[in-house]
Amino acid sequence: MDGEQRKHYSDRLRKGIVAECALIALMAALVTGRWGDNVQESFSANALLLEGDYIKWVDFTVSYEALCKAYDWDVKSHGTEQEISWIDLLAYTAARTGGAFDKKALELMDRGANAIVTGEESLESLTENLKYFPYYRDAYDAALGGLVGEYQEEQGDGSGGVTSESCYGLKGFFPLAKGFEYTHYDDFGAGRSYGYQRRHLGHDMMGQIGTPVISVESGVVEALGWNQYGGWRIGIRSFDGRRYYYYAHLRQNYPYAEGLKEGDIVTAGDVIGYLGHTGYSAKENVNNIEVPHLHWGMELIFDESQKESDNEIWIDLYALTRFLAKHKQAVEKVGETREWVRSSRIVDPAAEEYRKNAEREAGSF
């Protein structure tokens, strides 16, 4: 490890230790089960979480069960007078529990949601005395903001035409195509030693070489090419700029969907590349990863200065990966080629709006 790498690692380690120390008082409250005001008083790490005018640190602890429950309340209440945003519901729960999502927290979530849909309470009345609700809402909106909403689902009608159905729900997709086997476990934070000692800041999904990799959310291709750590990789930025999706270790010789290039707009569910085991080499197109897998990561960006810095915020995606398995994209082979394409299409209003704005701006020059 050279001097620059050592300094980079030590800076990140020191910041991680400071953040963990700030949670000690909070965890003490959670262990004893004292929530509400006790947690609010114990959670004195505000200066670490919100420095200046944007968030500097996020510990994304939302469980799979919490994601499912909050999502179900969101979908069930959509179109009613008492709509509930799943992000608001998760933030309310976290503000009450200090970020815990155990059985007791899920019961608390249900009570809060039921009070809103029956008109007994409003979100405003439930959260008016929760000091950290705005923090959690902003943090969870950054992590989950583009995954649920309205979209059009298009299917072939069997006679050459296309039918379109208006939908509301999960419009984000699982990162691997439907029907392809994979294994995974929660490996966030595990040690890595190539180049220098560091923590694993993504989620690995072991599978077969050539498995189609799917764009989780609609966005803009911001990075494409070789990285000695990630091999052939793709970086996609959400339209609101707050999520950077990183897909790495793609297939040797044929890593990307045909024609994909930087600046392209992709729609959630598009095939963007193919699973492989490239990386861990300064030389391009080398398979130095022992087990073929997709590494996918999500960086949260509250200020552009965070994008490539010592203050990057990467979150644990294990629970979210399990949740996204609710929405897998089927694919079909393109003739005798190595290419796969999605077998159904969605129209994402966010993508359509971004395209129109981009065309409008291009036409103004």
Give the start-to-end residue ranges of the domains of the chain: 3-144, 170-363
* 3-class DSSP assignment, residue 315: coil
pLDDT tens for residues 316-337?
999 999 999 999 999 999 999 9
Q: Judge contact between 316 and 299, C-beta under 8 A.
A: no
How far apart CA 288 and CA 293 sit, in angstroms, is 12
Q: Which letter does DSSP use for residue 5 in this model?
A: H
Residue 334 one-letter amino acid: V
Mean pLDDT of 10-20: 42
Q: What is the mean pLDDT of the chain?
A: 87
pLDDT tops 90 at residue 338:
yes
The pLDDT, as a whole number, for residue 23 is 45
User: Which of 15-24, 153-162, 264-273 has the lowest average pLDDT?
Assistant: 15-24
Mean pLDDT of 246-268: 98
Looking at the domain that runs over 170-363, which CATH code has it been given?
A: 2.70.70.10
The pLDDT, as a whole number, for residue 162 is 81
N residues, the chain? 365
Residue appearing with tokens 């949670």: 23
Instruction: Compute φ and ψ for 353, nearest 5 degrees.
Output: -65, -40
The band of 196, judged by pLDDT with boundaries at 50, 70 and 90, is low
Mean pLDDT of 34-51: 42
Instruction: Compute φ and ψ for 319, nearest 5 degrees.
Output: -65, -40
How far apart CA 141 and CA 90 sit, in angstroms, is 10
Q: How is residue 332 written in tokens?
A: 């079909």
Task: For the beta carbon of residue 272, count every other beta carbon within 10 angstroms.
Answer: 24
C-alpha of 308 from chain center: 18
Residue appearing with tokens 């994909």: 260
How far apart CA 37 and CA 50 sit, in angstroms, is 20
How far apart CA 352 and CA 358 sit, in angstroms, is 10
How far apart CA 174 and CA 340 sit, in angstroms, is 16
Over the Cα atoms of the chain, what is R_g? 21
* 3-class DSSP assignment, residue 227: strand
Mean pLDDT of 156-174: 88
pLDDT tops 50 at residue 4:
no
The band of 49, judged by pLDDT with boundaries at 50, 70 and 90, is low
Dihedral of alpha carbons 214, 90, 86, 348, sign: negative
Mean pLDDT of 24-53: 44
Higher pLDDT pick, 34 / 325 = 325
pLDDT tops 60 at residue 20:
no
How far apart CA 210 and CA 274 sit, in angstroms, is 5
79 CB-side CA count, 13 A: 7
pLDDT tops 70 at residue 243:
yes
How far apart CA 143 and CA 151 sit, in angstroms, is 20
Instruction: Compute φ and ψ for 20, nearest 5 degrees.
Output: -65, -40
- Nearest C-alpha neighbor of 286 from the set 294, 296, 278, 275: 278
